[in-house]
Amino acid sequence: MTRALILPALLASTLLAAPAFAQQKVVPAQSEIGFTSHQMGVPVDGKFRSWDAQISFDPKKPEAGKVSFTIDTGSATFGVPETDAEVPKAPWFNVAKFPKATFQSTAIKATGKGQYAVSGQLTVKGASQPVVVPVTLKQTGGSTTATGTFTIKRLDFKIGEGEWADTGVVANNVEVHFKLAVTGVAAL
Question: Tell me: the pLDDT tens digits for 143-183?
Answer: 899 999 999 999 999 999 999 999 999 999 999 999 999 99
CB contact set of 129 (below 8 Å; sequence gap of 6+):
121, 122, 152, 156, 157
Question: Tell me: the pLDDT tens digits for 41-97?
Answer: 999 999 999 999 999 999 999 999 999 999 999 999 999 999 999 999 999 999 999
User: Contact at 8 Å (CB) between 146 and 180?
Assistant: yes
Q: Is 97 within a domain? A: yes
Q: What is the mean pLDDT of residues 120-149?
A: 95
Q: Is 91 within a domain? A: yes
* Structural domain span for residue 125: 2-183
Q: Is 188 within a domain? A: no
Q: Is 31 within a domain? A: yes
Q: Is residue 19's pLDDT more than 80?
A: no
For residues 121 and 58, what is the distance between their CA atoms, to the nearest angstrom?
A: 21
pLDDT of residue 23: 67
Q: Is 46 within a domain? A: yes
Query: Residue 5: which pLDDT band, with cuts at 50, 70 and 90?
Result: very low
Q: Is 69 within a domain? A: yes
pLDDT of residue 47: 98
For residues 79 and 183, what is the distance between their CA atoms, to the nearest angstrom?
A: 29
Which amino acid makes up residue 187? Answer: A
Higher pLDDT, 12 or 64: 64
Any idea what the CATH number is for the domain that residue 115 is in? 2.40.128.110
Cα separations in angstroms, 79 against 37, 98, 101: 14, 22, 20
pLDDT of residue 11: 41
Q: Is residue 2's pLDDT more than 50?
A: no
Q: Is 105 within a domain? A: yes
Q: Is 166 within a domain? A: yes
Please state the domain count of the chain.
1
